[in-house]
Amino acid sequence: MNRVLPLSVGAVAILASATLMLVIVPGIQIHQQQASEELEPYTEQELAGREQYISLGCVYCHTQQPRSPEQTLADAAQGWGRASVAADYVYDKPHQLGTMRTGPDLLNVGARLPSIEWHLTHLYQPRAIFDWSIMPAYPFLFELKEEAVADDVVVKLPSEYRPEGKVVVATQEALDLSAYLISLKRTYPVEGALSGMRDQGYSSTEAK
């Protein structure tokens, strides 16, 4: 019984220390991050598309965190952009860093693939672009119509994926999601954001 109090105090002290070092201090550091002047807040449409991205579980197969060459050469070699830094995610709540790469990293997909037509086709049927793709199709984000009307955005498809006698029209959800993906461009220099991170292996050359 004489050991209960010291053990309890020790356990509380360890828990408090871990909470301070692993939760509170990192939280303060993150909240002090300032967005780059070239990083724009998401528009209303892009935020709606981001909600689609989250609800569809895209984070389970795609990351949004290119790594530095010190960690892996593959990210840079595949054209996924410079290593990401904390300031890249100032407007991301919650962030979508991800841990799996069944598909490519998407933090700079808007720079690599800025065409809304491409994204709409890819969302409707990934195999229409890459016959080897294992990405699921999202036909429920589209409508099949006999013919398009003035404001409809018709999805361009190869003949083998085009429904006979129908046109595929993007819903607002598909347009929003495409707008969000196109907004993912973290290609600006981050010299200022890297100033406090040089001890972690980052260099200014990576930001170009």
CA pair distance 139, 147, nearest whole angstrom: 17
Residue 190's CATH number = 1.10.760.10
Domain annotation covers residue 28 = no
Number of domains making up the chain: 1
Domain annotation covers residue 19 = no
Residue 195: CB partners within 8 Å, gap ≥ 6?
none
Domain annotation covers residue 136 = yes
- Give residue-wise pLDDT tens across range 118-136: 999 999 999 999 999 999 9
Torsion of CA 108, 113, 117, 118, to 10 degrees: -110
Q: Helix, strand, coil proportions of the chain in percent (round to 5)?
A: 45, 5, 50
Domain annotation covers residue 13 = no
- Give residue-wise pLDDT tens across range 21-66: 888 877 776 667 777 888 999 999 999 999 999 999 999 999 999 9
Domain annotation covers residue 128 = yes
Global pTM value: 0.81
Establish whether the linkage from the previous residue to 94 is cis, with ω within 30° of 0: yes
Domain annotation covers residue 4 = no
Domain annotation covers residue 66 = yes
Domain annotation covers residue 1 = no
Tell me which residue range forms the domain holding 78. 44-207
Q: What is the DSSP letter of 146?
A: S
